[in-house]
Amino acid sequence: MFWLLQVLAVAALTSAAPPAASSAPRVLDVSPDDKLIAYHGRWDENRGTWWGSSGFKLSVLNLSHLGLTLGPHSTAGNVSVGLSVNFGPFETLNVTEGTNVLPLPKSLKPFATSTIRLNVQGWQNNRIQLESLQLNDGAVLLPFVHQRLNFQFIGDSLTAGQYLPNGIDGSWAFLAAEAFRAEHLINAQPGACLTDQLCWGNYGGISGMFFKTEDTGYYYSADHNYTTAWDFSRDVPKPTHVFVHIGANDNAYNITGDSFVSTYTTFLERIRKLNPTAPIFVLTPWGWPNSDGTVGYYYDGRYQEVVQARAAAGDHNMHLIDTTGWVTWDDVFPDNQHPNPSGHAKIAGLFGEAIKRFGIEPQPRWLSPVIQL
């Protein structure tokens, strides 16, 4: 393979006499069009991100320097991203337009392969436009090996990690994917209804916007206040499992139960056409906990109707996950009733137990290549 020849060439060059001293180390620019950058999430034609958790992954031999140059379509000011090196915890970093040098562990060894994972964390102000990457002279990009599991999550603020200090990287969906050593695709937008209408400032509901490159905040982007169809062939690998948790905002906007069921059923029919064989899971609401111990639920029994409707249409690979009782007052921020960090961790754990009952098991290891010369 060509990349292996590159690896051997690097080894030969580096074992030769050391180069003459220079005032600054040389860096190599990597084009955002490089085929060895493994993108995930939604990126537009200008290499700009939409939807929280969009990002990229790299396998790099002999890495000691990593730079990120962002263009003018990045969110003004700082953008919070999560960076994981060699499958360690995601650390929050603030990046901005221009060149950013990302901190790397001092423990990285020459001739070792490092795995880099980077994603935008915020539920808003989360756009980065990638102009180039910078690697140290002597580093070599290798093909990234994806996991066999790829979880697709669809939802609203309760999935997007709204109000969490590390945003979507602290959400139950992200934590669950990490626990199962799965790739992830997360399309979740705070305030959005499933119904395709204006909800809490979102110009469009998830039932329509899911099929767009842009998230529901496109309307407010001066440089990009339009939508484009998403090319689902760009989701590599394809989702192996799809999970949907939505409806809180439809209820707040007084969408009737009958209308909600109709919209949800049609939405899942469209999802099924994109994913003919993937199991699709409908999560019931865990509700809005109150300080007196009560929980406010919504659309009682309606989620079961959605799954039953799809079964009646011949789709027997659609399943219900009942989340009743998963979240209590101690699990939420008292001023907005959204899950707090420990609440999201609790939900991720209960979610993991639930999907294991459907035969889904965590992968035994990360598959990204490890090469030591």
- Looking at residues 317-340, what average pLDDT do you find? 98
For residues 116 and 56, what is the distance between their CA atoms, to the nearest angstrom? 8
pLDDT for the residue numbered 322: 98
Strand, helix or coil at 78? coil
Q: Total structural domains in the chain?
A: 2
224 and 241 assigned to the same domain: yes
Cβ pair 93, 81 in contact under 8 A: yes
246 and 193 assigned to the same domain: yes
Per-residue pLDDT band for 179 (boundaries 50, 70, 90) equals very high
pLDDT at position 58 over 90: yes
Residue 68 forms part of a structural domain: yes
- Looking at residues 65-71, what average pLDDT do you find? 98
38 and 90 assigned to the same domain: yes
Residue 371 forms part of a structural domain: no
> What CATH number is associated with residue 235?
3.40.50.1110
Whether pTM exceeds 0.95: no
123 and 166 assigned to the same domain: no
Domain that holds residue 225: 150-356
Cβ pair 213, 221 in contact under 8 A: no
Residue 8 forms part of a structural domain: yes
106 and 134 assigned to the same domain: yes
Within 10 A of 51 (CB to CB), how many other CB atoms are there? Answer: 28
275 and 177 assigned to the same domain: yes
325 and 199 assigned to the same domain: yes
For residues 354 and 286, what is the distance between their CA atoms, to the nearest angstrom? 14
293 and 311 assigned to the same domain: yes
108 and 14 assigned to the same domain: yes
- Give per-residue pLDDT as tens, 144-175: 999 999 999 999 999 999 999 999 999 999 99
- Give per-residue pLDDT as tens, 189-229: 999 999 999 999 999 999 999 999 999 989 999 889 999 99
185 and 280 assigned to the same domain: yes
Amino acid in position 318:
M
Residue 280 forms part of a structural domain: yes
187 and 125 assigned to the same domain: no
Indicate the pairing of strand 318-321 with strand 280-283: parallel
Please, what is the average pLDDT of the chain? 93
- Looking at residues 7-24, what average pLDDT do you find? 41
pLDDT for the residue numbered 371: 57
